[in-house]
């Protein structure tokens, strides 16, 4: 911690040397951009996970091949993605997930992600689906950063209060209170970044190396096999969070442009993908998010137990792919939620019955499936931009309302991509990887206040972010 050993007296310009304003060499340009740090980190994470879970490498290849095919077969889509800047990001696009054990861990994760320009967006209550966690997604929020690298991390906090057994609850809290999931180097660089307003290039690289340690898999548990079994009996997820040194990344999900084709390719390669794709059905205009995963790996774990080290297994990590579509307005989202509930409830079969895909397709017949209608009915968010003809038009004509510009072919509206997650889908992903039998729901309600208290900050409203992106594009159109 070099900066702390510097003498604490004002420098020549009367300011303290550890203050960034006192270091004219440390101008804003001397800092690595948070977007750049996030790209480095996402790349390092992908590399680490491929080494840990080779099947992830297979998934990446398969998704890359499917995406190439789709772009070759659909030149209009390829052109639209090139115009919106989305084509570039596709190859590096992925999300991960972790589960934190304590409020302090969550709050520090928030500060760690902030170094990379990732903000907490949205609140997800999973307790209703029998998973004792609540969550947010750390992700970039402005358009340019999203196009640079939209890396997101679905981050859950264990709700120990949902463990019924008081003695076990206390034991778990005690174990969690003693662990340190961040390296001293990572903590020091987070503080440095907060104080100085950024990290220089060398420190940014050091930060990535140090931060990566928090997400690494450890094949040695910190608890005895007996304790592991007790935690596991409370809930498999409790065992996953409490028994290890840190919140290992449990999956990394690449984005595919055709999830049905990718799922077929997974089956063809012998990857046991879930039968049902979570989210909306296949459509001409993809909306929100469709996801499918394959089962967690059973991994060998060493448990410390006095003289003899016991060996056991743990399943936590899995593979997942996703297809992203149009971000919906509150009105569109309400319609989505209603139709999804309708599909799940029809016949009382949930999403398990063999005819679920048909029920889903039938229910979503009630959701318009062309962009003109989706936009006119205010169901989705769009980014407006001038066409070549629009740019060539006289200024007076360009100042006409957006609708008129579109009618005259002077502007076009492109779908804004959904960057967040879906609670029902997330619950399905959790469940399928927990073995499926644990279908109980906790009586507890969502507790967003407690989550934000633990996080040490409010979570951003996803709709406000999409609304702003749309409004910005309209403002630019007028300018
Ligand atoms: C997170 C599951 C949720 C998604 O894509 O909806 C998720 C977890 O298992 O920790 O990643
Ligand atoms: Ni996921």
Closest CA to 318 of 82, 136, 55: 55
Give the residue with greater pLDDT, 72 vs 128: 72
Neighbours of ion ligand 2 (CB under 5 A): 253, 320
Question: What pLDDT shows up at residue 8?
Answer: 30
CA of 14 to the centre of ligand 1 (A): 51
Regarding predicted confidence, which is higher, 9 or 190?
190
Q: What is the structure's pLDDT at 317?
A: 87
Number of H helices, E strands in the chain: 21, 13
Per-residue CA distances from 269 to 278, 312, 432 (Å): 21, 28, 20
Give residue 444's pLDDT.
Answer: 66
Ligand 1 midpoint to CA 214 (Å): 18
Q: Answer for the pair 305, 295: CB distance below 8 angstroms, yes or no.
A: no
Mutate to test the pocket of ligand 1, among 426, 433, 435, 438 (most ligand atoms within 8 A of CB): 426
Going from the Cα of 293 to the center of ligand 1, the distance in angstroms, rounded, reads 10
The number of the ligand nearest the C-alpha atom of 296 reads 1
Distance (angstroms) between ligand 1 centre and the Cα of 27 equals 39
Whole-number Å distance, alpha carbon 430 to ligand 1 midpoint, is 6
Query: Which residue's alpha carbon is at the smallest distance from atom 1 of ligand 1?
Result: 97
In this structure, what is the dihedral angle of CA atoms 450, 455, 458, 459, given to the nearest 10 degrees? Answer: -100
Pairing of strands 298-303, 310-315: antiparallel
pLDDT for position 479? 76
Across-strand partners of 415? 382
From the alpha carbon of 421, which atom of ligand 1 is closest? 6
Least confident of 10-19, 103-112, 328-337, 344-353: 10-19
Work out the pLDDT band at 435, boundaries 50, 70, 90. low
Element (H, E) at 313: strand 310-315
pLDDT, mean over the chain: 88
Q: Give the model's pLDDT for residue 316.
A: 82
Predicted pLDDT of residue 29 = 72
**Model confidence at 358: pLDDT above 80:** yes
430, 432, 433: residue to mutate for ligand 1 pocket, most atoms within 8 A of CB: 430
Residue 222 has pLDDT above 50, yes or no: yes
Closest atom of ligand 1 relative to the 318 alpha carbon = 9
Q: Give residue 253 CA to ligand 2 midpoint distance, Å.
A: 6
Ligand 1 centroid, distance to 427 Cα (angstroms): 8
CATH number of 17-327+416-478: 3.10.180.80
| From 200-214, 220-234, 273-287, 436-450, the region with the lowest mean pLDDT | 436-450
* Ligand 1 centroid from CA 178, angstroms: 26
Considering only CA atoms, which residue is closest to atom 6 of ligand 1? Answer: 426
Between the CA of 137 and the centroid of ligand 2 the distance, in Å, is: 10
- Angle at alpha carbon of residue 377, lines to 373 and 379, rounded to 5°: 95
Task: Quote the CA–CA distance of 227 and 222 in Å, as a whole number.
Answer: 10
Which residue CA neighbors atom 7 of ligand 1 most closely?
A: 426
Determine contact, residues 141/119, Cβ cutoff 8 Å.
Answer: yes
Pocket test for ligand 1, best of 152, 154, 277 (most atoms within 8 A of CB): 154
pLDDT at 15 over 90: no
| Atom number of ligand 1 nearest to Cα 154 | 11
Q: Residue with the nearest Cα to atom 9 of ligand 1?
A: 430
Three-state secondary structure call for residue 457? coil
Query: Which protein residue has the closest C-alpha to ligand 1 atom 3?
Result: 426
Q: Which residue has the tokens 């009996």?
A: 233
Give the tens place of pLDDT for each residue, 56-77.
999 999 999 999 999 999 999 9
| Number of the ligand closest to the Cα of 253 | 2
Ligand nearest to the CA of 250: 1
Kindly report the protein residue whose alpha carbon is nearest to atom 11 of ligand 1: 97
Q: Which ligand 1 atom lies nearest to the CA of residue 426?
A: 6
pTM here is 0.91
Q: What is the pLDDT of residues 295-337, one digit of tens each?
A: 777 889 999 876 556 788 898 888 899 999 999 999 999 999 9
Task: State the ligand closest to the CA atom of 290.
Answer: 1
Contact 242, 101 (CB under 8 A): yes
Q: Report the percent of the chain where pLDDT is more than 70.
A: 90
Q: Establish how many alpha carbons lie within 13 A of residue 332's alpha carbon, considering only the half-sphere containing its beta carbon.
A: 25
Q: How far is the CA of 430 from the centre of ligand 2 (A)?
A: 9
**Lowest mean pLDDT, pick from 66-70, 171-175, 245-249, 304-308:** 304-308
Residue 104 · residue 403 · CB < 8 Å: no
pLDDT at residue 440 in the model: 63
Residue 401 pLDDT more than 60? Answer: yes
Residues with CB under 6 A from ligand 1: 97, 99, 154, 156, 250, 291, 421, 425-426, 429-430
> Tokens standing for 314?
């743990």
**Per-residue buried b or exposed e for 245-270, using 16+ beta carbons within 10 Å of the residue's own CB:** bbbbbbbbbbbbbbbebbbebbeeee
Q: Is 310 exposed, middle or buried (0-12, 13-18, 19+ CB in 10 A)?
A: middle
């Amino acid at each position: 911690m070099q900066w702390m050993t510097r003498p604490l007296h004002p420098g020549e310009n009367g300011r303290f040397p550890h203050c960034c304003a006192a270091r004219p060499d440390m101008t804003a340009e001397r800092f690595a951009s948070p977007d750049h740090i996030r790209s480095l980190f996402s790349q390092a994470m992908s590399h680490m996970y491929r080494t840990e879970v080779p099947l992830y490498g297979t998934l990446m290849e398969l998704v890359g091949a499917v995406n190439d095919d789709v772009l070759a077969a659909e030149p209009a889509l390829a052109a639209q993605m090139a115009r919106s800047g989305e084509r570039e990001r596709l190859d590096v696009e992925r999300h991960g997930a972790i589960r934190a054990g304590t409020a302090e861990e969550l709050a520090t994760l928030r500060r760690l992600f902030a170094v990379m320009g990732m903000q907490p967006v949205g609140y997800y209550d999973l307790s209703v689906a029998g998973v004792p966690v609540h969550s947010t997604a750390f992700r970039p929020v402005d358009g340019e950063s999203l196009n640079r690298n939209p890396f997101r991390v679905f981050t859950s906090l264990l709700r120990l209060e949902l463990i019924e057994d008081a003695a076990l609850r206390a034991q778990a809290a005690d174990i969690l209170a003693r662990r340190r999931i961040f390296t001293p180097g990572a903590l020091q660089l987070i503080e440095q970044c907060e104080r100085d307003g950024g990290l220089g290039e060398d420190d940014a690289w050091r930060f990535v190396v140090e931060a990566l340690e928090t997400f690494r898999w450890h094949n040695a548990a910190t608890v005895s096999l007996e304790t592991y079994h007790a935690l596991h009996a409370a809930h498999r997820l409790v065992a996953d969070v409490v028994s290890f040194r840190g919140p290992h990344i449990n999956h990394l999900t690449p984005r595919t442009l055709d999830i049905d084709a990718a799922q077929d390719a997974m089956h063809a390669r012998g990857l046991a993908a879930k039968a049902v794709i979570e989210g909306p059905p296949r459509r001409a205009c993809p909306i929100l998010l469709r996801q499918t995963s394959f089962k967690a790996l059973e991994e060998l774990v060493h448990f410390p137990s006095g003289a003899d080290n016991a060996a056991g297994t743990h399943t936590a990590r899995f593979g997942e792919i996703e297809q992203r579509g149009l971000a919906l307005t509150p009105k569109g989202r309400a319609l989505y939620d209603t139709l999804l509930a309708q599909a799940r409830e029809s016949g009382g079969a949930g999403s398990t019955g063999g005819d679920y895909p048909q029920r889903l397709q039938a229910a979503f017949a009630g959701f318009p499936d062309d962009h003109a209608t989706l936009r006119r009915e205010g169901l989705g968010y769009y980014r407006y931009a001038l066409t070549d003809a629009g740019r060539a038009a006289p200024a007076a004509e360009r100042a006409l309302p957006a609708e008129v510009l579109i009618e005259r072919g002077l502007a076009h509206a492109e779908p804004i991509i959904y960057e967040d997650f879906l609670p029902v889908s997330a619950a399905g992903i959790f469940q399928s990887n927990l073995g499926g039998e644990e279908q109980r729901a906790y009586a507890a309600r969502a507790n967003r206040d407690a989550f934000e208290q633990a996080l040490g900050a409010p979570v951003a409203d996803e709709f406000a972010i999409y609304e702003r992106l749309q409004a910005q594009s309209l403002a630019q159109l007028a300018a």
